[in-house]
Structure 1
Amino acid sequence: MSSPFVGEIQIFGFSFNPRNWAFCDGALLPISQNTSLFSLLGTIYGGNGQTSFQLPNLNGRAACRQGAGPGLSTRQIGQTFGNNEVTLTSSQIPAHSHALVAYSQPDAALKSGAPAVNSSFSTLNNSADRPFKAVPVNAKLAPQMIGPNASPNAPHANQQPYLAVNFCIALQGVYPTFP
């Protein structure tokens, strides 16, 4: 592996940080031992700027580019944002106004393995083998089957898909030069 740039962030799929790298876990580092990295990061992520500075904290977070994309709000370097949980109000959930009906289709020509008008998923002719044995044929099911699933004002998880990996920042390496 070639020498990384000082301050370069890489993802590692193992449980330890490699030599000359540190976890991006918000650790407080002494400036006197990390002058090159401090000259690049400063106190963007924290620290007093006299004796210490802080590394980025990507624990439980996703990295995001600074600036703004089309239709997106502007993000500043070092800014944290987002929520792990969100509470929706009833006005944010679309209303359903249809009933849910389960029935067995006796006409074999109208039985289908895919949704179609006047068709049924049930292919069972025998009343003992119907998928809803306790429900009479063509019965309306309980309205709460298509209603909201959670308690009112209860939060739901709002996280991206994730994989447990470690973000690490290079403490030593090639000092980046800018044109």
Structure 2
Amino acid sequence: MSEPYLGEVKIISWNYAPRGWAFCNGQLLPLNQNQPLFSLLGTRYGGNGQTNFALPDMRGRAPVHTGGPIGAIVGGQGGEEFHTLTLGEMPTHNHFVNASNTAGNVNNPSGALLGANASPIYQPPGSAVAMAKENITFVGGGQQHENRSPYLVLNFIIALQGIFPSRN
């Protein structure tokens, strides 16, 4: 590789960081041994800024460019790996019950519509009927679901040595 800019981040397809590079795994580096890199990164990725600072942690993360509709800033984080839907996040919808007031003609309504009894067995026709709890149930378990787009795993590395980038 040609000489990189100090702090440059690259994506690689192999399993080791070359000499002068480190994985972007959020590790702490001693400030006194990495002053030029600290002057670029500061504590935006972590560390105390007195004795250490952190490299970006790209594990399980997707990079996002600054700005845009979310107002992303360098070092900012967002999103979540797992999410549990709330009632407010579900679209308005109905669960209709197909029924008829026409008299039924089968004793086993499996796969058919609910219909009126041919002859009243339990009560006079026309009265309201409370439905059994078995007929009205809650569905779903309130469990989290994975919240990631399809992905391909690659390694992110950051240059620990290189040309200090000028501001022009």
Give TM-score, length-normalised by structure 1: 0.65
Rounded to whole Å, the distance in 1 between the matches of 2:31 and 2:162 is: 17
Residue in structure 2 matched with residue 36 of structure 1 by the alignment: 36
CA RMSD, 1 decimal: 2.6
Distance in 2 separating the partners of 1:92 and 1:49 = 40
| 2:85 alignment partner AA | L
Question: For this pair of structures, how many residues does the alignment match?
Answer: 133
Q: Is 2:152 aligned against 1:167?
A: no
SS of match in other structure, 2:26: coil
- Aligned partner of residue 58 in structure 1, secondary structure: coil
Residues in 2 aligned to 1:54 and 1:60: alpha-carbon distance in whole angstroms: 17
- What SS does structure 2 have at the residue aligned with 1:36? helix
The alignment partner of 1:39 has SS state of helix
Distance change >3 Å, CA 87–CA 3, structure 1 → 2:
same
Assess, with a 3 A threshold, how the Cα gap between structure 1 residues 170 and 140 changes in structure 2: closer, same or farther: farther
Query: C-alpha distance in 1, partners of 2:76/2:164?
Result: 24
Structure 1 residues 150, 157: closer, same or farther in 2, change over 3 A?
farther
- Give the 3-state SS of the residue equivalent to 2:10 in structure 1: strand
Deviation track 1:90-144 (CA, whole Å, cap 9, x = no partner) reads 4533436579xxxxxxxxxxxxxxxxxxxxxxxxxxxxxxxxxxxxxxx569xxx
What does residue 86 of structure 2 align with? 89
**SS, match of residue 156 in structure 2:** strand
CA–CA separation in structure 2 for the residues paired with 1:172 and 1:29: 13
1:73 corresponding residue in structure 2: 70
TM-score (norm 2): 0.68
The one-character-per-residue Cα deviations of 1:5-28 (angstroms, maximum 9, x if unpaired) are 100000111111111000111110
What is the Cα deviation at residue 78 of structure 1?
1.1
Unpaired runs of at least 5, structure 1: 100-138, 142-147
Instruction: State the SS of the aligned residue for 2:74.
Output: coil
Partners of 1:90 and 1:49 in 2: how far apart?
43
CA offset digits 1:35-85 (Å, max 9, x no partner): 221111111111122221111111111111222x2xx22122212111111
Task: Trace 1:109-128 onto structure 2 (pairs within 5 A).
Answer: none
Distance 2:78 2:65 in 1: 12
What SS does the corresponding residue of 1:168 show, helix, strand or coil?
strand
Aligned residue in 1 for 2:6: 6
User: CA 1:157 to 1:149, structure 2 compared with 1: closer, same or farther past 3 Å?
Assistant: farther
The amino acid of 1:164's aligned partner reads V
In the alignment, the residues of structure 1 paired with residue 76 and residue 155 of structure 2 have an alpha-carbon distance, to the nearest angstrom, of 20
* Paired letter, 1:61: R
Change in 2 beyond 3 A, CA 1:87/1:33: same
Question: Which has more helix, going by share of residues?
Answer: 1
Over 3 Å counting, the alpha-carbon distance change for 1:156 and 1:178 in structure 2 is same
Q: Partner amino acid for 1:28? A: L
